[in-house]
Amino acid sequence: MKYKAWFQCSAGCGERHGLNEIVYNCSRCGELLEVAHDIDALKQRKPTAWKRLFNRRYMRTNWPYGSSVWGKKELVCPNVENKNIVSLYEGGSNLFWAERLGREIGLKDLWLKQCGNAHTGSFKDLGMTVLVSMVRQMLYEGKEILGVACASTGDTSAALAAYCAAAGIPAIVFLPKDKVSSSQLVQPLANNALTLSIDTDFDGCMKLVKELCARNNIYLANSMNSLRIEGQKTISIEIAQQFDWDVPDWVIVPGGNLGNVTALGLGFLIMRDLGIVNKIPRIACAQAQKANPLYLSYLKEFKEYKPIQAQKTLASAIQIGNPVSIKKAIKIIQLFNGVVEQASEDELANAAARADRTGLFNCPHTGVALAALIKLLKRGEIKPDERVVVISTAHGLKFPDFKIHYHEGTLEEVTPLYKNEPVDVPADYETVRGSILRALEKGFYDYKPTVRPGRTLIKD
């Protein structure tokens, strides 16, 4: 392929490495590396030609281009040979017009990007396909790699385990003990990853896995490895594509380690550089109040930043106090005239449940983003006629306890405003009918039945 990409120092000192080198930080300044593309080569193709190419490939079975990540291969990772690509058909997730939810909160043009409708149930697949493909490329070139490892709040390990299993490469996952959902724990186990349950939090796991990878021939799969960011970048390219190459006014994304908000920004920037779109949206990053180092820094206009000790939050995938991509994320938020908002446990749980009532099924992190949306609308930061896309990061089914305990009313610090409990009734027709009609008459949720004057629903 005539297109080229390489690692370069994200602090701009000019150090470069090949994408097939095992390196994550600049050797001179210690900063993270980022992937850079030969933009001049990419510009040889006209914007309309890029759009036509991407549209022709989108969600077809011409392997590997039907994957929405590899359908944008030239902008993502041109260096991997197709025969080494490990793909489980990523992307192409539905962009859902949340018409009823939007109407309820006073927004005409609200969309949910359902990135959790993915092979392993979260957006992490988008980056992992790139990283594991590059590992297979390196193995093919004769590099010595014993396995691939990551620290995870649950979803990264699920994705790593699945892609490594598909490729036949050993996966090692570091999970904080008792801090991931049982669904998330069972995913790497099922995919036969070596699963370490460690008595610490995510930040503690991160420290250990970094040392392991620095001192052994084990490749690090966390998002400090910017190959993952390249795959996740396709979220914004896909959003534009789904709007027929139009760009929304706002994109709201929950942030923990802050790789995804960075990726989102980079996706829009490369499209703008190539003339595929002519504007960029504003970005809102939403954090849990219990794990809000970016929010705290935002309050000080990013002049100060301190890692914090993250507290336990329902939004467990973003329970991170020392985000690895902090500097990259701040750059993106500044460039996109962005804002950072936070959500309490009560706000995130009720926002998720409120949206569920309009047909969604949200994970707690999507709840954080939805709570941020509601606050930004109330504050007038987001206007009622603007087009807003909320990134839903994982499938709600990955977090069954969050849902069950909400509706049981047993979540700490949460007053469930939208609780719905099973109604116990004996197997008796009249009692069953009576309880249904009583519920309907009361106004089941916000649906009010029309009853002709002088009549009631319940006759007996």
Ligand X SMILES: *Cc1c(COP(=O)(O)O)cnc(C)c1O
What residues line the site for Zn ion (CB under 5 A)?
9, 11, 13, 15, 26, 28-29
Residue 318 site contact among ligand X, Zn ion, none (CB < 5 to 8 Å, cut-off depends on kind): ligand X
Cβ(158)–Cβ(184) below 8 Å:
yes
Report, in Å, the least distance between residue 17 CB and ligand X: 22
Binding to ligand X, residues 326-385 (CB under 6 A): 363, 365
* Nearer to Zn ion (CB atom), residue 8 or residue 114: 8
Rounded-to-integer distance, Cα 325 and Cα 261, Å: 9
Cβ(255)–Cβ(162) below 8 Å:
no
Binding-site member from 66, 259, 265, 293 for ligand X (CB under 6 A): 259
Measure CA of the first residue to CA of the last residue in the chain; give whole Å.
77
Cα angle: 32, vertex 181, 87; to 5 degrees: 55
* 393 forms part of the interface with ligand X (CB under 6 A): yes
Closest CA relative to residue 171, chosen from 142, 153, 151, 201: 151
Q: Which stretch binds ligand X (CB under 6 A): 68-76, 255-263, 299-307, 335-343?
A: 255-263
| Residue 286: alpha-carbon gap to chain centroid | 12
Residue 235 site contact among Zn ion, ligand X, none (CB < 5 to 8 Å, cut-off depends on kind): none
Rounded-to-integer distance, Cα 187 and Cα 184, Å: 5
Residue 9 site contact among ligand X, Zn ion, none (CB < 5 to 8 Å, cut-off depends on kind): Zn ion
Q: Which stretch binds ligand X (CB under 6 A): 2-10, 17-25, 240-248, 254-262?
A: 254-262
Q: How many residues bind ligand X (CB under 6 A)?
A: 17
The amino acid sitting at 216 is N
Which pair of structure tokens corresponds to residue 231? 């795959």
Rounded-to-integer distance, Cα 32 and Cα 397, Å: 34
* 254 forms part of the interface with ligand X (CB under 6 A): yes
Residue 29 site contact among ligand X, Zn ion, none (CB < 5 to 8 Å, cut-off depends on kind): Zn ion
Rounded-to-integer distance, Cα 420 and Cα 357, Å: 10
Report, in Å, the least distance between residue 14 CB and Zn ion: 7
Q: Which residues contact 28 (CB under 8 A, 6 or more apart)?
A: 9, 13, 15
Rounded-to-integer distance, Cα 392 and Cα 122, Å: 9
Q: Which stretch binds ligand X (CB under 6 A): 174-182, 252-260, 293-301, 381-389?
A: 252-260
Report, in Å, the least distance between residue 154 CB and ligand X: 7
Cβ(195)–Cβ(175) below 8 Å:
yes
Residue 28 site contact among Zn ion, ligand X, none (CB < 5 to 8 Å, cut-off depends on kind): Zn ion
Residue 260 site contact among Zn ion, ligand X, none (CB < 5 to 8 Å, cut-off depends on kind): ligand X
* Nearer to ligand X (CB atom), residue 163 or residue 245: 163
CA distances from 74 to 70, 262, 305 (A): 8, 19, 35
* Nearer to Zn ion (CB atom), residue 11 or residue 308: 11
* 318 forms part of the interface with ligand X (CB under 6 A): yes
* Nearer to ligand X (CB atom), residue 20 or residue 200: 200
Question: Would you list the DSSP string of 217-232?
Answer: SEEE-STTSTHHHHHH
Task: State the residues that interact with ligand X by CB under 6 A.
Answer: 122, 124, 155, 223, 254-260, 317-318, 363, 365, 393-394
